Every structure is written in structure tokens, then in C-alpha cells.
Structure 1
Amino acid sequence: MKVKAGRARPEQLDALRSQLATLQKNAEQKPPSPDRAAPTTPTPEKTAAERPKGEAYAEKQAELSTEANELRKEQAKLSNLLHKVSPHVDCYELTSRIYELQVQIEGLWDEKKYIERNGLDTGGTFRDRPEKVVPAKSLDDVQHKAVLTVELQRLREKRSKVTRKLENPKSAESKRAEWSIELAQTNARIEELTAQRYVL
């Protein structure tokens, strides 16, 4: 085209044709293979401890998961009870039980991971854990104590209101007598619930 248009000379055209032929020849050939093949990292074979252990392994893992889930449910129930207790009331038993459950759950998950990494040992135990000396309180006891704590708080607030009413000099004598009876009943109930709570 450039020759017909008068833009290229025939001697330039010959050099361009030979360059085009060289490029076409190189394109038809296969690309050169790289000098070095990419290093392949050998996949390490799993040791006997890393391989799944069959039924015993699956049963142990399922047992640990089930136990952890049950403890997590119990912990959730206790945590929900905390919402019923005033922030100003000390509920050591409830929070300590929640913490104990958290420690047990973490221990179960540690055991699960240990078995996944190291395999199930012949005894099926996890690092010879020492037996707990202090028996944990049952969920019912902890719930009952939490309910008693909430009830005691309500009664103390009621006692405070009735006491303020009695201190009012403008209140009628008939109302004062009624409030005195209510105050005595409230005090008796507080003493009764405090004794019950102390036993738990």
C-alpha cells in the first residue's frame, strides 16, 4: 500500500518482508521451554497419628462435641438469669458457675483439637487431667439461688418504700397501722428468704 501511495521505497519493503517472514516462522514454532521447571513442594505424608481413626475417633469427637454443646446450653441459661439480677447485687455463685462452665467447655475443645492433631491414644484420655475435688453445684440450685436473689431485692425495695411512707408525718393513722403490718410481713419474708439463700 505504501509503495502504491509513494510512501515507501522498494528497498525498504524488502527488509520489512524478511522481518515479517522471520516473525511468522517464530510464531509457528513452539515457545521455548523454561530453563528450570518450577520446584514442586512434596506433600508430606500424614503420620499414623494424623489419619482418621475410624469409628473410635468419630465417636470420641461426637461425644466431646455433644458434651460441649450441653455445657454451652447450661451456660446460656445461667447467663440469661444474670439479666434478672440487679447490677448492684452480688451474685458470686451464678458468675462463678458460668466461669466454671466456660473453663470446662474450653477444656473439651482443647481435647478435641489435641485428638485431631495427635490421634486418639489407647486409653482415650486427654493428658491425665486431675479429678475435680469440689463438686459443681447443679443448675437447679444456681437458678433457685438467682430467683431468691431477685426476690430479696424486690422485697428490700418494698421495705424501703413502706418505711418512707411510715416516716411521713402527714399520713393517716389507719394507713400507718396498715403499713406497719406490711413492713413486719416484709421483714419476716426477707429473713426467711435470706436463710434459704444462705443454705444453697
Structure 2
Amino acid sequence: MQLSAGRARPEQIEPLRVELAALQKMANAAPVGTSTHELSTVRSQKVSVKPPVVKSSSDRFADKQAELTAEASKLRKEQAELSNMLHKVPAHQDCPELTERIVALQNEIEGIWDEKKFIERNGIDAQPVFRPESEPSIVVQARTLDDVAQKAVLTTELQRLREKRSKLTRKLGNPKASPSKKAEWETELAKVGSQIEQMVGERHVL
């Protein structure tokens, strides 16, 4: 070689030194035999991924029941406020907007409680649709004032009959009651139950 023989000039040696330094720098930048793609794969494998949280049936049951109870309470509050407004209206003045809204709220509340009872009996995964979502494209025929008033009367009477049924049930549970009284209450309870069933059907068609 010219360098070992002492015949290479300095201007010939300097480019070789620069090239050698660049090669050494590249060799030290990454482990031998490891490509950039392989390093990225290793890093991605070390990242821990947490599995999604899946609630148990009991947790979902409790959440749904709490949601329905809160919704019913909200509707009850609105219904009470509207009822107070209705009491302030003179007897000779019609208020179809208030009356119809009160009845609609009652229907929604009863639907919620029906749904709660169904879930209690059948479980969270078997719930039906008790309150179908409204379809804006369908024009619902407005009910007459007589229909709204009749439905309001039926709703009030149903509430009274249900309270009476509860009282009769409690009386029948009294161990000190005489057999004759129990027989009388059982007959009355059956009659009240029949009346409730009939009124529910009448109110449904209004």
C-alpha cells in the first residue's frame, strides 16, 4: 500500500479517515443483527393492554333498577307539580294540556314499574320493551277532551282500588282475624281484583 510504503500524501489519507469514522458511528447506533422494524416489534410487545371491564349480571341489574327508580321519581315530581297547577284552575275552565300530560306521565310511570317488576322476575337479560319509542313520522290522532277526562277518572279510580287491594291483603295476613272475616275479605279482594283488571282494559283503549 502507498500508506505503508510512505508514498501516500496527506490529502489522500484524510478522506479515508472521514469514511472510517462514519462507518464506526453507524455500527454503534444499534445492536448488531437488529433492524429498526424488529426493535419496534419488541417495544410494542412490552406494552400491557388492560382487558375491558365487564359488569356482572347482578351489577347490571342494580344499575338498571336504580336508573328506572330515578326516572320514575323524576316523572312523579313533574306529575305532582302539574296536579298542583290543575287544582288552581277554576272548575268551569278546561285544561286539556295539563290533563293530558298528567295522564301521559301516569302511563309512563306505570310502564316503568311494570318493567322493574319484569326484570325482578325474569332477570336483566330478558327485558321487553314496555315503553316503545315515539316515531315522529307517525301522526297520532288527538284524543277528545272527554277521552282525556275519562282516562283521568279511570286512573284515579285505579289508584283507589289498588290501595284497597293492599289493605285487604294486609287484613288477610292478620293471624288474629276470624275465619268469617277472612272469607269476607277474600270475596271482596277477588271483586276488587276483577274491577282493577276491567279498568286497566278500559283505560288501555282510550
Q: TM-score range by the shorter chain?
A: 0.3 to 0.5
* Structure possessing the higher relative contact order (Cα contacts under 8 Å, 6 or more residues apart): 1
Q: TM-score, normalised by structure 1?
A: 0.38
Report the TM-score when normalising by structure 2. 0.37
